[in-house]
């Protein structure tokens, strides 16, 4: 099956996957001095490289899934994909291992200042995180409030609660207040940029 | 960076990623009655779907990483990738979680009847599996001897030993005898097709 990109959205450029920016949607403008126009994905990738180099954890972003239809093999040069389509991923974007624990998360940013709209999350991601939790993996979401320059690690059970409320016709967003009281705030640093591993022990303690 | 496909090989069609076979290299011919021309990847994917449906484990194949250069957005239809290149993966193909354990493996098949040539494995895969093992994850390789219709789960330490021997100028393959004596043979079944989870407790016992 071929899908349009999730929710009919267009493909969003990611620094490590797009080389030729003029052909694609423009990157978002710089939002604040402190994150210097980096996307949350850039920040997480930098963090993961730091963890990898320090051998603190092995966590990678999954490639964007594409359905390849046509490939050309020009002589003496690399194969070129000439027709392909974006597929809907069936998992979250990041996973890996830390100290024997399976780590699995999704990273999302919002421009909102008072709440995080749940439309940023897809059903398949929630389903996947629930399955991971059932297998005793550690599932969570990293949310950046870009306008506030604040970062939170949201345990899956908090996300799940909000999701269930929405499904029952309730609120379609998670208020900032819930982030401040029920999740773990991360102060961004130089290196690692977003030290989300530092709160994993709290997530584990929560579950046990 | 743009790479040719690993080891200069051409892209190999995978049932779930290629929809239009006439444009790509033809699939390999059926090799035996019992695997009915399925690739090992097909068999592993079927097995993973079984595990997922039974909620026995959450294990997915990672998408093939591609560097996207040009995307077109025809009106009223899905975005089309018009120029993209294969990138060298930095991990193995499969990972996930089973009963709190991080699972990470590579699947390889050979037509050889007496040994498994190590040229089927890449340095980055060995490096990645070593990192995973250091973080207390469970890393292994699934090898199919297609002509023999035999399947083995190879603990990372056995692969690592053979790899080190090769790097020191020694043998460039793993003899079938080593598979028979030091790895775990899987008898293919109907469903799950390749029940590799059944030997994970042995791998864990080995490491502890």
- Lowest mean pLDDT, pick from A11-25, A45-59, A159-173: A11-25
Tokens of B27: 């699939």
Biggest CA–CA distance in chain B, Å, is 60
- Let me know if residue B158 belongs to a domain: yes
Residue A59 has pLDDT above 50, yes or no: yes
Q: Determine, yes or no, domain membership for B198.
A: yes
What is the domain-level CATH number for residue A21? 3.40.1350.10
Residue B55 to residue B49: CA distance in whole angstroms: 9
Range B45-69 average pLDDT: 97
Mutate to test the interface with B, among A14, A79, A93 (most CBs of B within 10 A): A79
For the segment A117-170, what is each residue's pLDDT rounded down to a tens digit? 999 999 999 999 999 999 999 999 999 999 999 999 999 999 999 999 999 999
Q: How many structural domains compose chain A?
A: 1
Residue A1 lies in a domain: no
Q: What is the pLDDT at residue A206?
A: 75
Residues contacting A18, CB < 8 A, separation 6+ = A24, B68, B69
Task: Inspect the interface and report whether the beta carbons of A79 and B132 lie closer than 8 Å.
Answer: no
Residue B19 inside a domain? The answer is no
Read off the tokens for B188. 């293919």
Q: Is the pLDDT of residue B9 over 60?
A: no
In a domain, B46, yes or no: yes
ipTM for the predicted complex comes to 0.83
Give contacts of A92 with chain B, Cβ < 8 Å.
none
Is residue B188, in this structure, part of any structural domain at all? Answer: yes
Nearest by CB: B62 against A17, A63, A81: A63
Q: Residue B36 — left, alpha, or beta (φ > 0 → left; ψ -120 to 50 → alpha)? A: left
β-sheet bridge partners, residue B32 = none
Chain A positions in Cβ-Cβ contact with residue B58 (cut-off 8 Å):
128, 131-132, 135, 137
How many Cβ pairs closer than 8 A exist between chain A and B? 171
What is the domain range of residue B182? 39-63+89-207
Q: Does B100 map to a domain?
A: yes
Cβ neighbourhood burial of A189 (10 Å; 0-12, 13-18, 19+): exposed
Do the Cβ atoms of A143 and A186 come closer than 8 Å?
Answer: no
> pLDDT for B129-145, tens place per residue?
999 999 999 999 999 99
In a domain, B18, yes or no: no
């Amino acid at each position: 099956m071929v899908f349009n990109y999730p929710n009919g959205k267009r493909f969003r450029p990611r620094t490590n996957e797009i080389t030729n920016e003029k052909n694609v949607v423009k990157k978002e403008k710089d939002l604040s001095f402190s994150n210097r126009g980096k996307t949350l994905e850039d920040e997480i990738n930098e963090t993961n490289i730091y963890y990898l180099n320090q051998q603190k954890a092995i966590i990678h972003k999954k490639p964007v899934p594409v359905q390849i239809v046509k490939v050309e093999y020009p002589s003496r040069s690399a194969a070129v994909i000439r027709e392909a389509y974006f597929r809907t991923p069936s998992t979250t974007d990041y996973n890996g291992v830390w100290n024997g624990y399976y780590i699995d998360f999704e990273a999302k940013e919002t421009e909102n200042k008072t709440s995080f709209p749940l439309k940023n999350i897809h059903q398949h991601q929630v389903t996947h995180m629930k399955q991971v939790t059932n297998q005793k993996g550690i599932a969570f979401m990293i949310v950046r409030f870009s306008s506030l320059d604040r970062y939170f690690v949201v345990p899956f059970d908090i996300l799940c609660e909000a999701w269930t409320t929405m499904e029952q016709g309730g609120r379609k967003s998670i208020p900032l207040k819930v982030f401040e009281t029920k999740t773990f705030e991360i102060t961004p640093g130089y290196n690692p940029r977003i030290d989300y591993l530092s709160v994993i022990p709290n997530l584990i303690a929560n579950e046990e």
